[in-house]
Amino acid sequence: MPAMIDHPTDQATQTTPQHVPEVVIVGGGFGGLRAAHALRHAPVHVTIIDRSNHHVFQPLLYQVATAALSPADISGPIRGIVRRQKNTEVVLAEVTHIDTGRQQVYTHDLAGSYDRTFPYDYLILATGAEGSYFGHDDWAEYAPGLKTIEDAIAIRRKVLLAFEAAEAEMERDPEKAKALLTFVVVGGGPTGVEMAGAIAEVARNALVKDFRHISPASARILLVEAAPHILAAFPQSLAEKAKGKLRRLGVDVRLNARVESVDADGALINGERLPAKTIIWAAGVKASPAGEWIGAETDPAGRVLVLPNLTVPDHPNIFVIGDTASVKSHEKPVPGVAPAAMQEGTYAGKVIRARVTGKPAPGPFVYFDKGSLATVGRSFAIAVIRNLQLSGFIAWVTWLLVHIFFLIGFRNRVLVMFQWAWSYFTFQRGARLITYNHADERVPAAR
């Protein structure tokens, strides 16, 4: 990939009294919103297109999935977030394709159910990623991933229904009840580790006194990782501490364990058949189809190979950021994490603002790694902040403060702080709601 930066004259649209440059941002996640924020005072018109009307704080989705928080606690309406930006509008629509020659984004409107087209002078693709099943997409039906609010609500329903169904089945079919009380989390990254620890705490703390025929504390939770270590992005010493904490919570951590098949009744792991009714997938991600929309070169995970200024080769007015982009900083791949997406969004906005105002564009994108955090159940986390390594309660408090700081909106911060304090002192989960369509032939957990 050539290391070059295009200049403001490269296909840039200068601001004139006759024309206000159109900036279309596809995706209202961390990167897209930061790009819009960076353009709030620029002489441009910004259109944010997203197929959801809300922004989600994805690092806390697992807390919705395990009934610690409600969906509204970690999300906010995109329109509300940008309501003070007079040059910005929001469209609830799904992108169907992009014509880079005509510079048009084609969408299907999800509110009015008709097709709409949006011209652009600059295009920012911040469409994120989805779960990757490594060629076994049929597994998704039985092992849902955790990327959206809808995913989190579905997993919460599945987990809570498993206990309800086990209570009903214990006297009639103990083996089925045992399978219902077996939870398998596939993937030993931060999401998998946090999910496994949270399920263990739900079983051993929040639900322990609520049932009469089963003992929720007897639930079996397995964390399955194909690699030799969990939390590969962390120093091995911290990963070992996290593994020890998981095992103290009662989580069976299985390393070098390869999932060979998944179905409605369980999974085949390293040749061993494991009966389990609840399997959660946290093993990998792949980029959105944005690369296909613009005909760009992508890596094996579908991420667009972008230039050091986050633009697409041969398309200097198209930026790709966040999980959709494959970019290097300091000769190292930029990780697919929220802080990276936010920094990329801010950078793309600055480049566009410089171009339309005729000022020099900033140099190549440089990622500033502020550190990594992962929590393992109540009162324990691991953290790497520059050269500082933390574990235990201090790291957990750091994790709390960082996540509270990045939550959008004062209301969300106050509510989450209250919910966490209540859960910490009472060991309870305040969002234990089972919601499903009562017209369904049978509920998912009882299959």
Beta bridge partners of 220: 182
Distance from the first to the final alpha carbon of the chain = 50
Closest residue by Cα to residue 161 from 401, 435, 349, 379: 435
Report which DSSP code applies to 439. Answer: T
Among this protein's residues, is 194 annotated catalytic? yes
Per-residue H/E/C for 126-177: CCCEEECCCCCHHHHHCCCCCCCHHHHHHHHHHHHHHHHHHHHHCCCCHHHH
Residue with tokens 């989805």: 130
Contact residues for 14 (Cβ-Cβ < 8 A; gap 6+)? 355, 356, 358
- Residue among 22, 169, 194, 344 flagged as catalytic: 194
Cα 113 to Cα 168: distance, rounded to the nearest angstrom: 43
Angle at 354 between CA 348 and CA 357, to 5 degrees: 140
Contact residues for 378 (Cβ-Cβ < 8 A; gap 6+)? 201, 205, 424, 427
Catalytic residues: 194
